[in-house]
Amino acid sequence: MLASACGPVPRPFQPSSKANTNPLIDQGVPPDVAVNPLRGTSIPMAKLVTQSVVDEIIRYDIVSYPNDHGASRFVLDGEVIDAPVSASGQPFRQIRWVLTTREGIATGMHVVPVSGTDFEWDFGSPKIIREIGESTAEAVARLVLGRTATLKEDRNARAGIWIKPISDAPGDGNYSLTRSIAFALSDSGMKVTKSPDRAEHLLKARVQVDSPESGLQKVEIIWMVTDTDDKEIGRARQRNSVPTGTFDGRWGQSAVMISMAAVGAIRNILANRGKQALTQGKQPLRLTFPGGKKDGDLVIPPPTLILN
């Protein structure tokens, strides 16, 4: 979680004395911000944080996208800086963001303190990622738009998603995985409803564990997002090989880790919902992870399926 009591207190971007008055507001041209990958952390974590910042900036009606392609009016760069251990004894990090104009003029800097366990950071806690995105986007919006910056209504968060209980997992996976994905989605900021009648989207999962081969079993978990008419919007797939019998009993922490890894893909499917609706007849969006080999794949930390 973000720690405001440890280290420097997060502040909105402090305008540089060299910064010019924002010409975009004067000319009525929609502002746009390119967000470069976060430096100083793993590639998967960098992609998750960067995408979270982009998604939150868009909620302020500012055009934003990952990676600077040389065309945006503003460019946002961030770097992770290790800091002393927090008062709670947890590792403490800071993310320093610098916003510049296309001409290279620094318009402000924003520091986000982040407190959490090494596990939460390395694996990509949805709660931490969401809070980094929200804090950073608010500061960017206030600088780019001024004091009038306000959030758009979040249709998905308002309606929520219902999770269909899993029924085909071995061991206690039906209970553990259903429960952990609900917690993970809720921590990421999504509303999880108790009834499908009150949800805008439904989430289903299919778990398949193959027969043992050379002491290993292939495990595949497919997460499917549908609308209320049971029409598939998109799916995400997790695959790995684990020692035989790994999931015959309690899933324990593995269910939590699998769910945390799946959240990014599920949110990305919902984020693309509007684009899918504009083009009737196209195939549903499919995201395979850990991925990274094909265009369109979502690269996120792979689930650790091997128990100690």
DSSP result, 160-212: -EEEPPP-S-STTHHHHHHHHHHHHHHHTT--B-SSGGG-SEEEEEEEEEPPP
Interatomic CA distance for residues 179 and 181, integer angstroms:
6
Query: Encoding tokens for residue 169?
Result: 């997992």
pTM score, two decimals?
0.49
The residue type at 107: T
- pLDDT of 129 reads 87
Q: Provide the residue ranges of all domains of the chain, joining segments of one domain with +.
A: 23-148, 155-289
Buried b (16+ CB within 10 A) or exposed e, 48-80: bbbbbbbbbbbbbebebbbebeeebbbbbbbeb
Q: How many CA atoms within 13 Å lie on the side-chain side of 97? A: 32
- pLDDT of 197 reads 79
Kindly state the helix (H) or strand (E) to which residue 96 belongs, with its residue range: strand 92-101
Sheet holding 285-289, edge to edge: 161-163, 201-209, 216-227, 232-243, 285-289
Query: Encoding tokens for residue 263?
Result: 């959240």
Interatomic CA distance for residues 208 and 221, integer angstroms:
6
Residues with Cβ within 8 Å of 139's Cβ and at least 6 positions away in sequence, in order, are: 11, 12, 13, 97, 108, 110
- For domain 23-148, the CATH class is alpha beta
Query: Encoding tokens for residue 125?
Result: 């806690």
Residues with Cβ within 8 Å of 8's Cβ and at least 6 positions away in sequence, in order, are: 94, 111, 113
CA gyration radius for the chain? 21
Interatomic CA distance for residues 262 and 244, integer angstroms:
23
Q: What is the DSSP letter of 147?
A: G
- pLDDT of 183 reads 86
| Residue in this structure with the two tokens 């996208």, named with its chain if needed | 65
23-148 with 155-289: one CATH topology? yes
- pLDDT of 22 reads 44
Residues with Cβ within 8 Å of 255's Cβ and at least 6 positions away in sequence, in order, are: 173, 176, 177, 179, 180
Kindly state the helix (H) or strand (E) to which residue 221 belongs, with its residue range: strand 216-227
Q: What superfamily does domain 155-289 belong to in CATH?
A: ABC-type transport auxiliary lipoprotein component (3.40.50.10610)
Q: What are φ and ψ of residue 149, in 5° steps?
A: -60, 120
Interatomic CA distance for residues 70 and 22, integer angstroms:
19
In tens digits, the chain (308 residues) has pLDDT values of 333 334 344 444 544 444 444 433 334 456 789 999 999 888 888 888 998 898 888 888 888 888 888 888 899 999 998 766 655 555 578 899 999 988 888 888 888 888 777 777 777 778 888 889 989 998 898 888 875 555 555 444 446 888 998 988 998 888 889 888 988 888 887 888 877 877 888 999 999 999 999 999 899 999 999 988 888 888 888 888 888 988 898 888 888 888 888 888 888 888 776 544 433 333 444 444 333 333 333 333 343 332 22
